[in-house]
Structure 1
Amino acid sequence: MTSQNSQLFQWRYTELDDHNVQVQVQGHTLFYVIMLFGIVCFVTVLFLYARWVCRYHGLPPETSHGGSAADVSPPRPLPGFDAAAIDRLPIVLHSSTSSGVEGSGECSICLGVFEDGEKVKVLPRCGHRYHCTCVDRWLMTRPVCPLCRATLLVDSAGPWV
């Protein structure tokens, strides 16, 4: 009887051998890994395509009033002033005893300290003071104060009068 039990156990052991089960699980796992990789690649390509379309074919910018992009023209950068307009700015001599304008002791463009008796230009709208060469270069490219961004245009005809 012991020989029959051992044969039955051996037969059951070979029948319950999980070697075939491991191959099936590995096959399914490989299939799922390949599917996951394919999905990730597909989503990546889809994202890159959408990015390319937005960048090179230019989706219209959203407008605040709900109109289309054709209704709104893009903001045009304001041109700077010519040398004659910049030369009309008031020039004063700096003195350390004169207080009145906050931060009047240094040029906010170059961060240099004003010396007593040095010529500085005063912007008419805000009263900020700058070295002449610093503010001249700035105003050739932009018609605004470098510190507070106040516009220096009085009307559409030209700069301050």
Structure 2
Amino acid sequence: MASQNFEPIHFPDFKDNNKINAKNPLLGSLCLFFVFFTTFLFLYFIYACARRRHHAASTALPEAGLDPASISSLPVSSFAMKPSHGGAECAICLSIFQEGERVKVLPLCRHGFHSDCVDEWLRTRSSCPLCRGCVHRVDSLEAGMWVVPLP
């Protein structure tokens, strides 16, 4: 077997602080600058996100409902049970239509709802509760024609 010469590992002597002290103020300053800069960027990011969210909420157009004259001009009929209807229900209140109940049918999509339910819905929104199709009338009430505006 060959003899192996092991050299001892020499660790730096930390008792001699002359070299470390010469670099320490600069290194400490850089670390402190990095911490402040990172904190500033984080706080600015939070500020920008909050401002964007506030701006988006303030510029969003509220969905306007229909006027009472338009709502009352919608056709109302009495519900008659047909075998094809099965258990037809109002999509707003989720109750099954009973024989003879007043049902309001929207002209474009032909979806039917309880008259009171859809009247309350249309006071605040101008879309069908089921398919979200537009229920706007572009022309006058006398013409009786309902159209969907183009986007």
| Pair in the same fold by TM > 0.5 | yes
Q: Tell me, what secondary structure is at the counterpart of 1:20?
A: coil
Pick one of 14, 20, 23 that aligns with 1:24.
Answer: 20
Aligned-partner residue type, residue 24 of structure 2: G
**Alpha-carbon deviations, 1:5-26, whole Å to 9, x = none?**
xxxxxxxx9xx63223599289
Equivalenced residues, count: 129
Aligned CA distance change for structure 1 residues 36 and 134 (closer, same or farther; 3 Å): same
Give the aligned partner of residue 69 of structure 1. Answer: none
User: Unaligned regions of 5+ residues in structure 2, if any?
Assistant: 1-9, 145-151
Deviating beyond 6 angstroms after TM superposition, the runs of 4 or more aligned structure 1 residues are none
- TM-score w.r.t. structure 1 length? 0.58
Deviation, 1:125, is 1.4
Which residue number in structure 1 is paired with residue 84 of structure 2?
99
Identity of aligned residues (%): 31
Kept in 2: contact 1:90–1:122 (CA 8 A)? yes
Cα RMSD of the aligned pairs, angstroms, is: 3.9
Q: Which of 87, 105, 119 pairs up with 2:72?
A: 87
Other-structure match for 2:136: 153
Would the alpha carbon gap of residues 104 and 89 (structure 1) be closer, same or farther in structure 2, given more than 3 Å must change?
farther
Query: Which residue number corresponds to residue 3 of structure 1?
Result: none
**Structure 1 contact 121–129 (Cα < 8 Å) conserved:** yes
Q: Which residue of 2 aligns with 1:38?
A: 36
Q: How far did 1:30 drift?
A: 4.0
Structure 1 or 2: more helix by fraction = 1
TM-score, normalised to structure 2, is: 0.61
How far apart, CA to CA, are the structure 2 residues paired with 1:127 and 1:50?
46
- Quote the Cα distance in structure 2 between the aligned partners of 1:113 and 1:23: 87
Q: Deviations over 1:16-55 (max 9, x none)?
A: 6322359928936644532321221231244355457657
The runs of 5 or more residues in structure 1 that have no matched partner are 1-12, 60-73
The offset of 1:136, in angstroms, is 0.7
Q: Deviations over 1:81-128 (max 9, x none)?
A: 21x43233222222332536xx97111111111123322111111111
Aligned-partner residue type, residue 95 of structure 1: A
